[in-house]
Amino acid sequence: MTVRDWGNPVATQHRRLAATSAGLRCDAHLRNHRRPHLTLRRWQALVTECMNAALRQRITGAVAAGAVLLCLHPVNAAAQTGDAARFPAKSIRMIVPFPPGGSNDILGRFLAQKMTERLGQQTIVENRAGADGIIGTEVAVRAPADGYTILIISTTYTMNPAIHKLPYDPINSLTPISLIASGGNVIASNPSLPVNSMKDFIALAKARPGQIRYSSSGIGGFNHFGGELFNTMAGVKMVHIPYKGGGPAMLDVMSGQVEIMFGTLIQALPHIRSGKLKPLGVGSAKRSPLLPQVATISEGGVPGYDGSIWWGVLGPTGIPGAIVTKLNAEIGAILRDPEMVKRLVAEAAEPAVDTPEAFGILIANDIGKWARIARQAGIRTE
């Protein structure tokens, strides 16, 4: 990490996590040498050893300094380690910032059940819906940073900054804990549309600029952004027709009122299988195992297109690093469980185990990506 990275929010997240990790290692080293007769000179020498160890771990500048500060307060670091060993000592509140029945709620309840089984304490799901997830997210931001309140988020979390004035900082107000799963959207048409591949559809859209309409679940939603990303990358100009929900948007495509839809696989798959919708391409980076015969949009003529949706877990900023590490490890173990994998695949999602650091980078990158799309397409809430 360079000095130039210092103002970068992702670098800030890396520094915080790395400093905590290095500090805990140093603390263990110091505890092994702690004696009533330890001299100041010897104490300083041990701190220097911690500093050098941090540097050998590619931790530089202020990160190494942060590790030393943790070394200078071994009692606090030891307390954090002890808290993590006893965690959880009571029930965990899992905030889902959307109504029951949606993808966040479904995946959150799957995870909550398994966390209860593994951790020996109940994980209680609390739906706090409203304002595209902003209300529930703010509740999590204001919760104590002790690991007993966690938040389920999806890609929408990274789209909200582009179209809403938020009462929190989406980078610094919450701590990444773990990615849970990812899935793709799908471009599906009425069966009567005279195209059968993504290549053919792009040719049709280019031949009819402003005439091809696509439906979505609403302005500023995941599928609206996915459609505008397609417009930008494919060099076409489709017209967005927003609906109040994914159901009505899909019904008008099936009835022929609108040519195509951008929808989630979980929503469109039953109607694709029944023949009421025709899939033209999936919006994930790789083909879906549920529709292996359908090429990705990237394969079909829009290289690099990735309209994937993902879900993950955050917590309030300030959760002790050792507790973040423990939660990440437990969630990772759950996501590798064959039963959980089967349940996720049935919901058109795939497990996505990752580190807090990598999840933080994903969030920051997606916030930038969707902000660019919103500016280019003029996406704004009504």
- What's the pLDDT tens digit per position in 301-329? 999 998 888 999 999 999 999 999 999 99
| pLDDT at residue 363 greater than cutoff 90 | yes
Query: What is the pLDDT, as a whole number, of residue 49?
Result: 52
- What's the pLDDT tens digit per position in 257-298? 999 999 888 778 889 999 999 999 999 888 888 899 999 999
Using CA atoms in the order 47, 48, 54, 58, what is the torsion angle rounded to 10 degrees? 160
Query: What is the pLDDT, as a whole number, of residue 159?
Result: 94
pLDDT confidence tier of residue 346, bands split at 50, 70 and 90: confident
The string of DSSP letters for 85-97 reads: HH--SS-EEEEES
- What's the pLDDT tens digit per position in 133-159? 999 999 999 999 999 999 999 999 999
Average pLDDT over residues 1-9: 35
344 touches 311 (CB < 8 A): no
pLDDT confidence tier of residue 53, bands split at 50, 70 and 90: very low
Query: What is the pLDDT, as a whole number, of residue 65?
Result: 36
Residue 6 burial (CB count, 10 A): 12
For residue 32, give every residue at least 6 positions away whose Cβ sits within 8 Å of its Cβ, in sequence order, or none. Answer: none
Residues of the chain above pLDDT 70, percent: 78
Q: Helix, strand or coil for residue 163?
A: helix
Domains identified in the chain and CATH numbers: 3-84 (no CATH), 87-177+310-354 (3.40.190.150), 185-282 (3.40.190.10)
Rounded distance, CA 137 to CA 359, Å?
Answer: 17
Average pLDDT over residues 240-253: 87
pLDDT confidence tier of residue 216, bands split at 50, 70 and 90: confident
Q: What is the mean pLDDT of the chain?
A: 81
Residue 210: HSE in the Cβ half-sphere, 13 Å Cα cutoff? 0
- What's the pLDDT tens digit per position in 63-83? 333 334 344 444 454 455 667
Per-residue exposure over 251-283, b if at least 16 CB sit within 10 Å of its own CB, e if not: bbbbeeebbbbbbbbbbbbebbeeebbbbbbbb
